[in-house]
Homo-oligomer: A and B are copies of this chain.
Amino acid sequence: MDFVNIAKNAKEASLKIADLPEQVKNEALLKIADAIEAEKDEIFSANSKDLAEAEKLVALGEITKSVFNRLKLDENKMRDMIKGIRDIAALPDPVNRKLLVRELDEGLTLYKVSCPIGVLGIIFEARPDVIAQISSLAIKSANAVILKGGKESINTNKKILRVINSALALVKGFPENVIQQVFTREDVAEMLKCDKYINLIIPRGGNKLVKFIKENTKIPVLGHADGICHIFVDESADLKMAEKIIVDAKTQYPSACNSVETLLIHEKFPYRDELLASLQLSEIKLIDKPESWAFEYGDKILAFKTVKSIDEAIEHINTYGSGHTDCIITGSVENAEKFMNKVDSAGVYRNVSTRFADGFRYGFGAEVGISTNKTHARGPVGLDGLTIYKYKLIGNGQIVKDYADGTKQFHHRDII
Residues of A within 8 A of B (CB): 15, 18-19, 102, 104, 108, 110, 117-118, 199-200, 214-215, 218, 220, 222, 238, 240-241, 244-245, 247-249, 252-253, 318, 336, 340-342, 344-353, 355-357, 361-363, 373-376, 378-380, 388-401, 403-404, 410, 412
**Cβ-defined contact, A341 with B19, below 8 A:** yes
C-alpha gap A345/B393 in the complex (Å): 12
**Smallest beta-carbon distance A58→chain B, Å:** 26
- Chain copies in the assembly? 2
Find chain B residues with CB under 8 A from A350 CB: 392-395
**Cβ-defined contact, B102 with A362, below 8 A:** yes
**Cβ-defined contact, B104 with A362, below 8 A:** yes
**Cβ-defined contact, A393 with B19, below 8 A:** no
C-alpha gap A102/B397 in the complex (Å): 44
C-alpha gap A6/B102 in the complex (Å): 40
Find chain B residues with CB under 8 A from A388 CB: 373-376, 378
Find chain B residues with CB under 8 A from A200 CB: 374-375
- Decide yes or no: A342 and B19 within 8 Å by CB, A200-B374, A220-B375 being known contacts: yes
C-alpha gap A373/B244 in the complex (Å): 44
**Smallest beta-carbon distance A403→chain B, Å:** 7
C-alpha gap A313/B215 in the complex (Å): 38
C-alpha gap A355/B399 in the complex (Å): 8
Other A-B pairs, 5, CB within 8 Å; known A351-B396, A373-B388: A19-B342, A220-B376, A252-B399, A357-B391, A363-B412
**Smallest beta-carbon distance A11→chain B, Å:** 9
**Cβ-defined contact, A15 with B342, below 8 A:** yes
Find chain B residues with CB under 8 A from A357 CB: 391
**Smallest beta-carbon distance A217→chain B, Å:** 8
C-alpha gap A403/B336 in the complex (Å): 24
**Cβ-defined contact, A410 with B363, below 8 A:** yes
The residue that A348 contacts in the complex, of B318, B392, B395, with Cβ under 8 A, is: B392
**Cβ-defined contact, B400 with A252, below 8 A:** yes
Find chain B residues with CB under 8 A from A399 CB: 244-245, 247-249, 252, 352-353, 355
Find chain B residues with CB under 8 A from A238 CB: 397
C-alpha gap A342/B340 in the complex (Å): 42
- Decide yes or no: A390 and B347 within 8 Å by CB, A352-B398, A355-B400, A400-B356 being known contacts: yes
- Decide yes or no: A410 and B252 within 8 Å by CB, A347-B390, A375-B117 being known contacts: no
**Cβ-defined contact, B392 with A344, below 8 A:** no
The residue that A117 contacts in the complex, of B247, B374, B412, with Cβ under 8 A, is: B374
**Cβ-defined contact, A241 with B18, below 8 A:** no
